[in-house]
Amino acid sequence: MLAAVALVAPVSAQSKYSNKLAPYVASPQRVVDRMLELAGVKSNEVVFDLGCGDGRVLFTAVERYRAKAVGVEIDPKLVQQTREQAQKMAMGNRIKVVEGDLLDADLSDADVVTLYLLTQTNDKLRPHLEKMLHPGARVVSYDYAVPGWKPKWIERVEELSAKHDHVIYLYEMPPVKDPAAKPAAQDEE
């Protein structure tokens, strides 16, 4: 059974980072659950949450899937609160929270990346994801598509308390094309 996660109210950041790319808005737990389910998270995979806020994606990934989780958050208060909550929940060895700009995050270990950012932020982030993520890594974006990418799956999640349905986009990084690969041999007659 899942342990209760203490939720943190939104905090306005007075941060050393001027590049705040999206406001903090907590994702409904139902959406978090579905995002991780669609991504097919496996035990010991590494899940990154860019703009991790109160850490609910991190806690869910560790608790439900036995994944390792890394959050990147620009707001130092949210970083501290999430780190403290991870310690209280005895997840400190499976969760790492980095205070920093998500555009600078080292994503080379990521198997899954979750996003709840704005479309224009996803567009800015796209080249970084393309450069850093390995083939087969999954990107799951809540409510906002990644411009220029074709989703592998799009799902609408009804939310009775909201005025609109939520949309989850699932992307998968393509295999690397080997520029040295020879074309398939043609049959000779």
Whole-number mean pLDDT of the chain? 85
6: which DSSP letter? -
> Is pLDDT at 178 greater than 80 in this prediction?
no
Q: 29-172 maps to which CATH number?
A: 3.40.50.150
pLDDT, one tens digit per residue, over 147-157 is 999 999 999 98
Query: What distance in Å separates the CA atoms of residue 102 and residue 109, rounded to the nearest whole number?
Result: 15
pLDDT digits (tens, 9 = 90+) for 3-54: 433 333 333 333 444 455 666 778 889 999 999 999 999 999 999 999 999 9
Average pLDDT over residues 89-98: 97
The residue ranking higher by pLDDT, 180 or 30, is 30
79 or 15, higher pLDDT: 79
Which one is predicted more confidently, 160 or 127? 127
Position 61 pLDDT exceeds 90: yes
Predicted local confidence at residue 162, as pLDDT: 62
Helix (H), strand (E) at residue 48: strand 46-50
Residue 6, class by beta-carbon neighbours within 10 Å (0-12 exposed, 13-18 middle, 19+ buried)?
middle
pLDDT over 80 (residue 77): yes
Which pLDDT belongs to residue 41?
98
What residues are paired with 38 via a beta bridge? Answer: none
Instruction: List b or e across 39-69, with b for residues whose CB sees 16 or more CB atoms inside 10 angstroms.
Output: bebeeebbbbbbbbbbbbbbbbbbbebebbb
